[in-house]
């Protein structure tokens, strides 16, 4: 099991009460929201977990944690922690495996 911690930016939605948009400076592909702070945290953790797993499975390096240089009005930051059990699997390239990808 590996632990990963990244900074998330929570920005209140100006047109809707108790709705928070969440982004991660280190993961520009993540944008999520929640209809409460608690739901926004849950959604942020879920989105971060999916992005970390995806990058690991693709063999990509994970980015370093970035802190935002400026925050939008009323925004705040929190560190989101995810635990990932990631296995690197390999198999010999046999005729059957080659045929499966042909």
| pLDDT over threshold 60, residue 98 | no
Torsion angles phi and psi, residue 27, rounded to 5: -130, 85
| pLDDT over threshold 60, residue 91 | no
Range of the domain at 42: 2-100
Instruction: Please write the tens of the pLDDT for every residue from 21-54.
Output: 999 999 999 999 999 999 999 999 999 999 999 9
**69: domain CATH number?**
3.30.160.250
Task: Indicate whether this model's pTM tops 0.75.
Answer: yes
Residue pair 31/40 in contact (Cβ under 8 Å)? The answer is no
Q: Tally the domains of the chain.
A: 1
| pLDDT over threshold 70, residue 66 | yes
């Amino acid at each position: 099991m590996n632990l990963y911690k990244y900074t998330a930016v929570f920005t209140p939605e100006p047109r809707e009460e108790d709705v928070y948009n969440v982004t991660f400076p280190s993961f520009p592909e993540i944008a999520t929201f929640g209809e409460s702070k608690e739901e926004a945290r849950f959604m942020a953790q879920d989105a971060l977990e999916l992005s970390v797993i995806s990058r690991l499975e693709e063999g990509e390096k994970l980015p370093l944690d970035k802190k935002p240089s400026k925050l939008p009005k009323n925004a705040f930051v929190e560190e989101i922690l995810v635990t990932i059990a990631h296995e690197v699997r390999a198999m010999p390239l046999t005729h059957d495996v080659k045929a499966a990808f042909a």
